[in-house]
Amino acid sequence: MALLELRNVSKIYHLGGEEIRALDDVTLDIEAGEFCSIIGPSGSGKSTLMHILGCLDSPSLGTIKLDGVEIQKASASQLAHIRNRKIGFVFQFFNLLPKLNVVQNVELPMIYSGISGKERRERALKALDMVELGNRLKNRPSQLSGGQQQRVAIARALVNDPKIIFADEPTGNLDTHTGEVILELFRNLSRQGRTVMLVTHNPEIAAVTPRRIEIRNGKIADRVDTRLAGLDRLAAAAAKSAAATAAH
C-alpha cells in the first residue's frame, strides 16, 4: 500500500460560469521513502496538486488516501490536524513568523499538537542541529540569510516527524550555490528514509530526484508514470465493464 494514493482526482474551479479544471482526473501513487519531484510550467496545476497532496485543499472529485486513511471528505480542522502530524512544508518564501525567534519558529507546529514546553524545546533543538543552525537559536528570521531561513523552515517541517515533506520551489528564492546546499539537505533527508516531494518548474532541480511527475494542463504527462496511471485506468475500465456485464 502506497503512502499517498490519488484516484481520479480533479479540482474544478468555476470562474464566471466557466469551468476550469486545475487538475483533471489525476491518478497517482507515492510510496513511503520516495524522493520525487512534481514538475511543470506555471499554471500547469502543479501547485494545486501539491495543495491537495499536502492536505491544504480538498479535491472536487476522486479519492485520496494518506497513510491508508481516506481524506477527500475531511473537514478543514481535520485537515489541519493531518497537516500538523503527518506533513511538513517548506515554502519558496520561507514563511517564518518574523516576530518569533528561530527556536520559537521551529516550535510552532508542536504548539498545535499540544506538546509540553520542555519537550518542544528539546525537539526543536534537535531539529535545528540537524540543519546545522544550533548556534543561531535566538535570532529573528530577519537577521538570517536566505539559506539559513530556509534551513529553519526545514527544521520546522521536520520537527513533528512527518510522514511526508513537501517543498514548494525551495530554492526559488536563493542563489545557485545556496540552492545546491538546500537540495543536498533534501537528498540527505531522502537517504535517511524520509518521503520528500519537491515541487518546481526547473528541470535541473527536478533532475536530482529519482522520480519525476510532470504535470501539463492538469494532467500527468510523465513517462514513468503513464504506465502506472494507464494500468490503473485500464484496471478501472475493466472493473467497470465487468460490473456492467454483470448488471446485464
- Does position 151 interact with other proteins (CB under 8 A)? The reply is no
Q: Kindly report the three-state secondary structure assignment for every residue of 204-219.
A: HHHCCCCEEEEEECCE
Binding mask 157-186 for other proteins (x = CB under 8 A): ---x--------------------------
Using alpha carbons, select from 184, 160, 159 the residue that is nearest to residue 170: 184
- Please, are residues 60 and 80 in contact by the beta-carbon 8 Å criterion? no
- Nearer to other proteins by C-beta: 101 or 190? 101
Interface with other proteins: number of residues (CB under 8 A): 24
Looking at residues 31 to 60 of the shown chain, list those that interact with other proteins (rule: CB under 8 A): 51, 56-57
* H-assigned helices in 65-163: 76-86, 102-111, 117-130, 146-158
- Does position 74 interact with other proteins (CB under 8 A)? The reply is no
For residue 34, list its beta bridge partners. Answer: none
- Does position 12 interact with other proteins (CB under 8 A)? The reply is no
Cβ of residue 224: shortest distance to other proteins, in angstroms? 28
Helices and strands (DSSP H and E) totals, the chain = 8, 10
- Does position 111 interact with other proteins (CB under 8 A)? The reply is yes
For residue 30, list its beta bridge partners. Answer: 4
- Residues making contact with other proteins (CB under 8 A): 51, 56-57, 76-77, 80-81, 83-85, 89, 91, 95-97, 99, 108-109, 111-114, 156, 160
